[in-house]
Each structure stands twice: as structure tokens, then as C-alpha cells.
């Protein structure tokens, strides 16, 4: 990810990666007041073009997170989309998928956590190459975290703010220590919420179910995408409360998110899921998602932003 040769977008300017620095006194304190996004762009061999995926939805969600954080970003969603596209035009290479990381944080020096309302936000857009795992047969194992999810009524889970990720990190380390790849968090009522950096979907008797937003989950753009693709394929979906035991009795489970893409889970807390292999509905949805993001099909052009080559 270290790319001293790359440019980074900062507050409307392209600057060398190495020069994108802040003072130490800004780091910890401004981090409490900071929101971010993770966005994918996929190389399309069919089109010979890089395709940004749902850029505007991601930028709008970041602006919403900043608004709820009482920070004042000096750009609107369209300006941020244009900035990300121009950044990709400058840094991307044919054949490569690129991860885009926009984030915003309280501008200036702070020695107090209680950064006042209305503080301007600095906005930065960084990027790095990544390798999509779609269609590569990847799977994962899950463990219900011994740390419950943070209370969404205390710190809204719909805000994609760095401060919310402390709980995710504790759960991830807890899961790894118990030999699993990713945690699944339950909320104070024992309901399933999400993983540390992805949402979850549970399939039983052909129905795809995901926890509803009031369970305390990020309003995941990939989750929305996959629910829509499922409906279009005639696969019934439900957004509702999900009990922990439903995980153990599921036919199929997958994680869903920008980075996770569609990641089949084959075990949870030692219970094999279904046959202990990725299931057919998950594979069907993974293929449908792949075909959209790679521009194999043109059924959802509204989600794609083509990046013209420099």
C-alpha cells in the first residue's frame, strides 16, 4: 500500500503521496472526529476500462457520516466523485483493480477530543491496487464475538466513523485467537448484527435474510446491491432480526461488503454451515455481483463510473 510514487487527492489538490502529512497533535484527537469510506473500482476486460462501483453512494454516505459528526466538509458528493475519478485516471494501470479510500477528519490542530460542532473537515482520497477474490473459490470461518456490538443507540452503526472500529478490532482479534477468520457480533439483545468490516447474510430454504438496520449495522452498499440482485434473480429476501441460533442452522452464510465482496462462510463457532462448502445461492449471487462490477453485463450502468485512461 505504500506508494511514494503516487499522488493523493487532498482538499482539491493532487499532491505527492509522501507530502500528505498532518501534525502529531492532530492524529489521536482528530481521529475521534473522522469518517471514511472504502470503495472499489474494477478493471473490465470486456470494456478495456476501469469501472468505479457506486462512487456516488459511497461519497454521499461519507458526507452523511461527517454531517452526523458535526463536521463541515467543503465539497459535495458530485465534486468528490469527480475527484476520485480524476485520481484513478492518474494512478490506475490497465488490468488492475483499485481500492479507493476517501476520508474526512477535523481540520487543524486539536488537543481535545471534544472538537466543536461546525469544525471544517479535511477531505483526502487515497488509493491502492487490490486483487478481487470474486470467483476464486475463497471461503472463511466465523466466530460469534465474545465482545458484543457497541450499542447503536449510543454510537449509530450507520455512521462509518473510525471511532466505531475499536469494537470491531477487539472482536477480530478475539475471533482469530479462537481460530476463526472473522467475528460476528451480537447486540445487547443477542441478535446477530454484522462482522467487523462486512455485513452478513443467512440463507435458509432458499430465502436470503440480513439483519435490519435497527439491529445495529452499517447501511452497507454491497448488501443493498446484493439484495437487489437477488430480487432480480427471483430469490426471495428478508431484512429482519436474526437470532444467533439461525447461524448454526443455516444452509448458507456469506459476508458481504466492499472488501469482503461476497465471501462464503463454511463454519461458525465450530458448526459446519450446510455442506461445509460454499452453497449454490451464494455462488449464484457472487457470479451476478461479479458480472455487474466487472462490466460483463450492462444491467446496472447506473452503478458504474467509467474511468477514461490518461
Task: Write the interaction track for ligand PMP spanning residues 38-77; mark x where CB under 6 A is met and - where it is not.
Answer: x---------------------------------------
CB of 224 vs ligand PMP, minimal distance in Å = 8
| 25 φ, ψ (degrees, to nearest 5) | -70, -10
CB of 54 vs ligand PMP, minimal distance in Å = 8
CB of 259 vs ligand PMP, minimal distance in Å = 6
> Which of 230, 202, 209, 214 is closest to 287 using CA atoms?
230
**Binders of ligand PMP: how many residues, by CB under 6 A?**
12
C-beta closer to ligand PMP: residue 110 or 223: 223
CB of 5 vs ligand PMP, minimal distance in Å = 27
Site residues (CB under 6 A) for ligand PMP, limited to 248-277 = 257-258
The C-alpha angle 11, 16, 22, rounded to 5 degrees, equals: 60
The gap from C-alpha 67 to its chain's centroid, in whole angstroms, comes to: 19
C-beta closer to ligand PMP: residue 105 or 185: 185
C-beta closer to ligand PMP: residue 255 or 307: 255
CB of 165 vs ligand PMP, minimal distance in Å = 7
- Enclosing H/E stretch for 223: helix 221-232
Site residues (CB under 6 A) for ligand PMP, limited to 175-194 = 194
C-beta closer to ligand PMP: residue 110 or 168: 168
CB of 192 vs ligand PMP, minimal distance in Å = 13
Burial 11-50 (b: 16+ CB within 10 A, else e): beeeeeeeeeeeeeebeebbebbbbbbbbbbbbbeeeebb
C-beta closer to ligand PMP: residue 103 or 107: 103
Site residues (CB under 6 A) for ligand PMP, limited to 204-243 = 218, 220-223
| Using rule CB under 6 A, residue 199 touches ligand PMP | yes
Q: What is the C-alpha to C-alpha distance for residues 26 and 32, in angstroms, rounded to an integer?
A: 10
Burial group, residue 177, by CB count within 10 angstroms (0-12, 13-18, 19+):
exposed
C-beta closer to ligand PMP: residue 49 or 210: 210
CB of 218 vs ligand PMP, minimal distance in Å = 4
C-beta closer to ligand PMP: residue 49 or 258: 258
| 160 φ, ψ (degrees, to nearest 5) | -90, 75
How many C-beta atoms lie closer than 10 Å to residue 241's C-beta? 15
How many C-beta atoms lie closer than 10 Å to residue 287's C-beta? 16
Q: What is the C-alpha to C-alpha distance for residues 170 and 173, in angstroms, rounded to an integer?
A: 5
Strand 237-240 and strand 207-211: pairing? parallel
C-beta closer to ligand PMP: residue 23 or 166: 166
Angle of the 280-293 helix axis to the 221-232 helix axis, nearest 10: 110
Site residues (CB under 6 A) for ligand PMP, limited to 103-132 = none
Q: Tell which one of 159, 198, 250, 265 touches ligand PMP (CB under 6 A).
A: 198
Residue ranges in contact with ligand PMP by CB under 6 A = 38, 194, 197-199, 218, 220-223, 257-258
Amino acid at each position: 500500500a505504500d506508494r511514494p510514487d503516487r499522488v493523493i487527492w487532498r482538499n482539491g489538490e493532487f499532491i505527492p503521496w509522501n507530502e500528505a502529512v498532518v501534525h502529531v497533535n492532530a492524529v489521536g484527537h482528530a481521529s475521534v472526529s473522522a469518517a471514511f469510506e472504502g470503495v472499489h473500482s474494477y478493471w473490465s476486460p470486456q470494456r478495456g476500462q476501469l469501472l468505479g462501483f457506486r462512487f456516488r453512494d459511497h461519497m454521499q454516505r461519507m458526507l452523511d457520516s461527517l454531517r452526523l459528526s458535526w463536521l463541515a466538509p467543503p465539497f459535495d458528493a458530485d465534486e468528490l466523485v469527480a475527484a476520485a475519478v480524476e485520481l484513478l485516471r492518474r494512478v490506475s494501470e490497465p488490468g488492475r483493480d483499485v481500492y479507493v479510500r476517501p476520508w474526512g477528519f477535523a481540520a487543524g490542530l486539536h488537543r481535545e477530543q471534544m472538537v466543536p460542532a461546525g469544525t471544517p473537515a479535511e477531505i483526502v482520497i487515497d488509493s491502492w491496487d487490490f486483487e478481487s477474490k470474486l470467483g476464486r473459490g475463497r471461503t472463511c470461518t466465523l466466530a460469534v464475538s465474545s465482545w458484543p456490538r457497541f450499542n447503536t443507540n449510543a454510537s449509530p452503526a450507520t455512521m462509518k466513523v473510525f471511532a466505531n472500529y475499536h469494537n470491531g478490532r477487539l472482536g477480530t482479534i478475539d475471533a482469530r485467537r479462537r481460530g476463526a477468520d472473522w467475528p460476528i457480533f451480537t447486540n445487547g439483545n443477542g441478535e446477530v448484527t454484522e462482522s467487523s468490516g462486512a455485513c452478513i447474510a443467512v440463507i435458509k430454504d432458499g430465502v436470503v435474510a440480513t439483519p435490519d438496520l435497527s439491529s445495529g449495522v452499517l447501511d452497507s452498499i454491497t448488501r443493498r446491491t446484493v439484495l437487489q440482485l437477488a430480487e432480480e434473480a427471483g430469490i426471495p429476501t428478508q431484512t429482519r432480526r436474526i437470532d444467533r441460533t439461525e447461524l448454526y442452522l443455516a444452509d448458507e452464510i456469506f459476508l458481504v461488503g466492499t472488501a469482503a465482496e461476497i465471501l462464503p462462510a463454511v463454519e461458525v463457532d465450530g458448526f459446519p454451515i450446510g455442506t461445509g462448502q460454499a452453497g449454490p445461492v451464494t455462488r449464484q449471487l457472487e457470479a451476478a455481483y461479479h458480472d455487474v462490477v466487472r462490466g460483463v453485463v450492462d444491467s446496472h450502468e447506473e452503478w458504474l463510473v467509467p474511468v477514461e485512461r490518461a
